[in-house]
Amino acid sequence: MSTTENLQSRANALRLYGLLAHWPELTNAGWVEPLVQWEEDERARRSLERRIRDAHLGNFKPLCDFDWAWPTRCDRLAVEELMSLEFVRDYANVVLIGPNGVGKSTLALNLAYQALVNGHTALFTSAGQMLGELAALDSDSALRRRLHRYTSPAVLVIDELGYLSYSNRNADLLFELISRRYGVASTVVTTNRPFAEWSEVFPNAACVVSLVDRLVHRAEVIAIEGESYRVKEARERAEQRASRRGAARGGKTKP
Protein backbone atom coordinates (compact mmCIF):
# COMPACT_ATOMS: atom_id res chain seq x y z
CA MET A 1 0.00 0.00 0.00
CA SER A 2 1.39 3.41 -0.96
CA THR A 3 1.79 6.24 1.51
CA THR A 4 -1.14 8.07 -0.08
CA GLU A 5 -3.38 4.99 0.07
CA ASN A 6 -2.39 4.37 3.67
CA LEU A 7 -3.20 7.96 4.58
CA GLN A 8 -6.56 7.73 2.82
CA SER A 9 -7.30 4.51 4.68
CA ARG A 10 -6.50 6.20 8.01
CA ALA A 11 -8.77 9.14 7.12
CA ASN A 12 -11.53 6.70 6.24
CA ALA A 13 -11.10 4.88 9.56
CA LEU A 14 -11.52 8.26 11.27
CA ARG A 15 -14.63 8.95 9.16
CA LEU A 16 -13.28 12.28 7.93
CA TYR A 17 -15.79 12.27 5.11
CA GLY A 18 -15.44 15.96 4.26
CA LEU A 19 -11.73 15.47 3.76
CA LEU A 20 -12.26 12.28 1.75
CA ALA A 21 -14.78 13.99 -0.53
CA HIS A 22 -11.99 16.30 -1.72
CA TRP A 23 -9.22 13.70 -1.62
CA PRO A 24 -8.12 14.06 -5.29
CA GLU A 25 -7.45 17.74 -4.65
CA LEU A 26 -5.39 17.00 -1.50
CA THR A 27 -2.99 14.35 -2.75
CA ASN A 28 0.04 16.61 -2.48
CA ALA A 29 -1.14 18.80 0.40
CA GLY A 30 1.48 18.66 3.12
CA TRP A 31 -0.95 19.50 5.91
CA VAL A 32 -3.16 16.42 5.44
CA GLU A 33 -0.90 13.89 7.16
CA PRO A 34 -0.35 16.05 10.30
CA LEU A 35 -4.10 16.67 10.45
CA VAL A 36 -4.87 12.93 10.34
CA GLN A 37 -2.18 12.25 12.94
CA TRP A 38 -3.55 14.94 15.26
CA GLU A 39 -7.03 13.46 14.97
CA GLU A 40 -5.76 9.94 15.69
CA ASP A 41 -3.78 11.11 18.71
CA GLU A 42 -6.65 13.13 20.15
CA ARG A 43 -9.15 10.31 19.72
CA ALA A 44 -6.71 7.85 21.31
CA ARG A 45 -6.24 10.23 24.26
CA ARG A 46 -9.97 10.70 24.77
CA SER A 47 -10.60 6.98 24.43
CA LEU A 48 -8.01 6.21 27.10
CA GLU A 49 -9.45 8.86 29.44
CA ARG A 50 -12.94 7.42 28.98
CA ARG A 51 -11.79 3.85 29.56
CA ILE A 52 -9.85 4.84 32.68
CA ARG A 53 -12.92 6.63 34.01
CA ASP A 54 -15.17 3.67 33.22
CA ALA A 55 -12.68 1.29 34.87
CA HIS A 56 -13.11 3.14 38.21
CA LEU A 57 -9.40 3.18 38.97
CA GLY A 58 -9.49 6.42 40.94
CA ASN A 59 -6.23 7.93 42.15
CA PHE A 60 -3.31 5.59 42.75
CA LYS A 61 0.46 5.62 43.09
CA PRO A 62 2.23 4.79 39.78
CA LEU A 63 4.57 1.82 39.77
CA CYS A 64 7.60 4.07 39.33
CA ASP A 65 6.89 5.50 42.82
CA PHE A 66 6.35 2.12 44.49
CA ASP A 67 8.73 1.62 47.43
CA TRP A 68 10.15 -1.81 46.65
CA ALA A 69 12.43 -1.65 49.69
CA TRP A 70 9.54 -1.45 52.15
CA PRO A 71 7.97 -4.95 51.92
CA THR A 72 10.12 -7.60 53.56
CA ARG A 73 9.04 -9.97 50.79
CA CYS A 74 7.88 -9.07 47.28
CA ASP A 75 9.04 -10.59 44.00
CA ARG A 76 9.72 -7.41 42.04
CA LEU A 77 10.83 -9.32 38.94
CA ALA A 78 7.56 -11.27 38.86
CA VAL A 79 5.53 -8.06 39.18
CA GLU A 80 7.49 -6.34 36.43
CA GLU A 81 6.98 -9.37 34.18
CA LEU A 82 3.24 -9.06 34.77
CA MET A 83 3.42 -5.50 33.45
CA SER A 84 4.28 -6.99 30.03
CA LEU A 85 0.64 -8.23 30.07
CA GLU A 86 1.56 -11.72 28.94
CA PHE A 87 -0.98 -12.98 31.48
CA VAL A 88 -3.72 -11.01 29.70
CA ARG A 89 -2.82 -12.54 26.36
CA ASP A 90 -2.82 -15.99 28.01
CA TYR A 91 -6.15 -15.37 29.81
CA ALA A 92 -4.38 -16.19 33.08
CA ASN A 93 -5.12 -14.81 36.55
CA VAL A 94 -3.07 -12.99 39.17
CA VAL A 95 -3.46 -13.33 42.95
CA LEU A 96 -1.67 -10.91 45.29
CA ILE A 97 -1.61 -12.20 48.87
CA GLY A 98 -0.45 -10.22 51.89
CA PRO A 99 -1.45 -8.25 54.98
CA ASN A 100 -3.13 -4.88 54.92
CA GLY A 101 -1.15 -1.92 53.61
CA VAL A 102 1.74 -3.64 51.79
CA GLY A 103 0.80 -2.37 48.32
CA LYS A 104 -1.41 -5.11 46.87
CA SER A 105 -4.07 -2.70 45.63
CA THR A 106 -1.45 -0.33 44.20
CA LEU A 107 0.10 -3.14 42.16
CA ALA A 108 -3.32 -4.36 41.00
CA LEU A 109 -4.32 -0.85 39.91
CA ASN A 110 -1.10 -0.50 37.95
CA LEU A 111 -1.82 -3.79 36.17
CA ALA A 112 -5.29 -2.54 35.23
CA TYR A 113 -3.88 0.79 34.04
CA GLN A 114 -1.20 -0.94 31.97
CA ALA A 115 -3.91 -3.04 30.34
CA LEU A 116 -5.94 0.07 29.50
CA VAL A 117 -2.93 1.88 28.02
CA ASN A 118 -2.35 -1.13 25.77
CA GLY A 119 -5.90 -1.12 24.44
CA HIS A 120 -7.54 -3.71 26.70
CA THR A 121 -10.66 -3.18 28.77
CA ALA A 122 -10.43 -3.25 32.57
CA LEU A 123 -12.59 -2.79 35.66
CA PHE A 124 -11.63 -2.30 39.30
CA THR A 125 -13.99 -3.17 42.16
CA SER A 126 -13.81 -4.21 45.78
CA ALA A 127 -15.04 -7.70 46.62
CA GLY A 128 -17.55 -6.31 49.11
CA GLN A 129 -19.05 -3.84 46.67
CA MET A 130 -19.31 -6.34 43.81
CA LEU A 131 -20.72 -9.25 45.80
CA GLY A 132 -23.11 -7.03 47.73
CA GLU A 133 -24.38 -5.54 44.49
CA LEU A 134 -24.86 -8.94 42.85
CA ALA A 135 -26.55 -10.48 45.89
CA ALA A 136 -29.03 -7.58 46.13
CA LEU A 137 -30.46 -8.20 42.66
CA ASP A 138 -33.80 -9.95 42.88
CA SER A 139 -34.44 -10.89 39.24
CA ASP A 140 -32.59 -13.29 36.97
CA SER A 141 -32.49 -10.79 34.11
CA ALA A 142 -30.96 -8.06 36.29
CA LEU A 143 -28.39 -10.53 37.64
CA ARG A 144 -27.44 -11.64 34.13
CA ARG A 145 -26.92 -8.05 33.03
CA ARG A 146 -24.81 -7.24 36.07
CA LEU A 147 -22.77 -10.43 35.75
CA HIS A 148 -22.08 -9.47 32.14
CA ARG A 149 -20.63 -6.18 33.35
CA TYR A 150 -18.13 -8.07 35.48
CA THR A 151 -17.40 -10.87 33.02
CA SER A 152 -16.79 -8.73 29.94
CA PRO A 153 -13.58 -6.77 30.76
CA ALA A 154 -10.28 -8.26 29.64
CA VAL A 155 -8.94 -7.54 33.14
CA LEU A 156 -11.15 -7.56 36.23
CA VAL A 157 -9.55 -6.52 39.52
CA ILE A 158 -11.34 -7.80 42.64
CA ASP A 159 -9.81 -5.98 45.59
CA GLU A 160 -9.81 -6.83 49.30
CA LEU A 161 -11.21 -10.35 49.16
CA GLY A 162 -10.94 -11.76 52.66
CA TYR A 163 -11.51 -8.65 54.75
CA LEU A 164 -15.17 -9.61 55.26
CA SER A 165 -17.07 -12.88 55.60
CA TYR A 166 -19.69 -13.73 53.01
CA SER A 167 -22.79 -15.88 52.73
CA ASN A 168 -23.14 -19.03 50.65
CA ARG A 169 -24.97 -16.98 48.01
CA ASN A 170 -21.99 -14.62 47.78
CA ALA A 171 -19.68 -17.61 47.39
CA ASP A 172 -21.87 -19.07 44.65
CA LEU A 173 -21.95 -15.73 42.82
CA LEU A 174 -18.18 -15.39 42.97
CA PHE A 175 -17.75 -18.94 41.75
CA GLU A 176 -20.13 -18.23 38.87
CA LEU A 177 -18.18 -15.11 37.94
CA ILE A 178 -14.77 -16.79 38.11
CA SER A 179 -16.11 -19.74 36.10
CA ARG A 180 -17.45 -17.47 33.36
CA ARG A 181 -14.10 -15.70 33.08
CA TYR A 182 -12.07 -18.93 33.30
CA GLY A 183 -9.94 -19.32 30.19
CA VAL A 184 -11.45 -16.30 28.39
CA ALA A 185 -10.36 -13.28 30.47
CA SER A 186 -7.94 -12.40 33.27
CA THR A 187 -8.91 -11.79 36.88
CA VAL A 188 -6.66 -10.06 39.40
CA VAL A 189 -7.49 -10.70 43.06
CA THR A 190 -5.95 -9.09 46.12
CA THR A 191 -6.46 -10.86 49.44
CA ASN A 192 -5.14 -10.79 52.99
CA ARG A 193 -5.93 -14.47 53.51
CA PRO A 194 -3.99 -17.54 52.35
CA PHE A 195 -6.13 -19.98 50.40
CA ALA A 196 -6.30 -22.36 53.38
CA GLU A 197 -8.33 -19.70 55.22
CA TRP A 198 -10.85 -19.00 52.47
CA SER A 199 -13.28 -21.37 54.14
CA GLU A 200 -13.46 -18.73 56.89
CA VAL A 201 -14.22 -16.04 54.33
CA PHE A 202 -17.04 -18.17 52.90
CA PRO A 203 -18.20 -20.23 55.91
CA ASN A 204 -20.05 -23.45 55.01
CA ALA A 205 -19.88 -22.74 51.26
CA ALA A 206 -19.54 -25.96 49.29
CA CYS A 207 -17.84 -24.31 46.30
CA VAL A 208 -14.74 -22.88 48.03
CA VAL A 209 -12.36 -25.63 46.89
CA SER A 210 -13.63 -25.41 43.30
CA LEU A 211 -13.48 -21.61 43.43
CA VAL A 212 -9.82 -21.60 44.47
CA ASP A 213 -9.02 -24.30 41.91
CA ARG A 214 -10.50 -22.28 39.04
CA LEU A 215 -8.87 -19.07 40.23
CA VAL A 216 -5.30 -20.35 40.68
CA HIS A 217 -5.11 -22.66 37.66
CA ARG A 218 -2.36 -21.14 35.45
CA ALA A 219 -2.30 -18.10 37.77
CA GLU A 220 0.64 -16.05 39.00
CA VAL A 221 0.41 -16.06 42.81
CA ILE A 222 2.59 -13.42 44.48
CA ALA A 223 2.99 -13.25 48.26
CA ILE A 224 3.87 -9.88 49.79
CA GLU A 225 4.96 -9.51 53.40
CA GLY A 226 5.79 -6.53 55.57
CA GLU A 227 4.42 -3.82 57.83
CA SER A 228 1.62 -1.60 56.59
CA TYR A 229 3.01 1.23 54.47
CA ARG A 230 0.07 3.41 55.54
CA VAL A 231 1.02 2.87 59.20
CA LYS A 232 4.60 3.82 58.30
CA GLU A 233 3.43 7.04 56.58
CA ALA A 234 1.13 7.90 59.50
CA ARG A 235 4.00 7.41 61.94
CA GLU A 236 6.30 9.61 59.85
CA ARG A 237 3.65 12.35 59.64
CA ALA A 238 3.17 12.21 63.41
CA GLU A 239 6.92 12.49 63.94
CA GLN A 240 7.10 15.47 61.56
CA ARG A 241 4.24 17.24 63.39
CA ALA A 242 5.92 16.59 66.75
CA SER A 243 9.19 17.95 65.37
CA ARG A 244 7.49 21.12 64.09
CA ARG A 245 5.74 21.65 67.41
CA GLY A 246 9.03 21.17 69.25
CA ALA A 247 10.76 23.69 66.96
CA ALA A 248 7.90 26.18 67.45
CA ARG A 249 8.10 25.86 71.24
CA GLY A 250 11.86 26.29 71.08
CA GLY A 251 11.49 29.45 69.03
CA LYS A 252 9.18 30.97 71.61
CA THR A 253 11.59 30.37 74.48
CA LYS A 254 13.04 33.68 75.70
CA PRO A 255 16.79 33.90 76.10
Does 239 map to a domain? no
The Cα 130–Cα 150 span in angstroms is 9
Kind and range of the H or E element at 161? Answer: strand 155-161
The pLDDT value given to residue 90: 97
Domain that holds residue 156: 63-231
Residues of the chain with pLDDT under 50: none
CA pseudo-torsion sign 246, 251, 252, 255: positive
Exposure string of 64-77, with b = 16+ CB inside 10 Å and e = fewer, is: eebeeeebeebeee
Does 207 map to a domain? yes
Q: Are 73 and 44 in the same domain?
A: no
Give the single-character DSSP code of 2. Answer: -
The Cα 145–Cα 150 span in angstroms is 9
Is 172 in contact with 203 (CB distance < 8 Å)? no
Q: What is the pLDDT of residues 190-240, one digit of tens each?
A: 999 999 999 999 998 999 999 999 999 989 999 999 988 777 667 777 778
Does 236 map to a domain? no
Does 193 map to a domain? yes
Give the single-character DSSP code of 83. Answer: T
The pLDDT value given to residue 62: 95
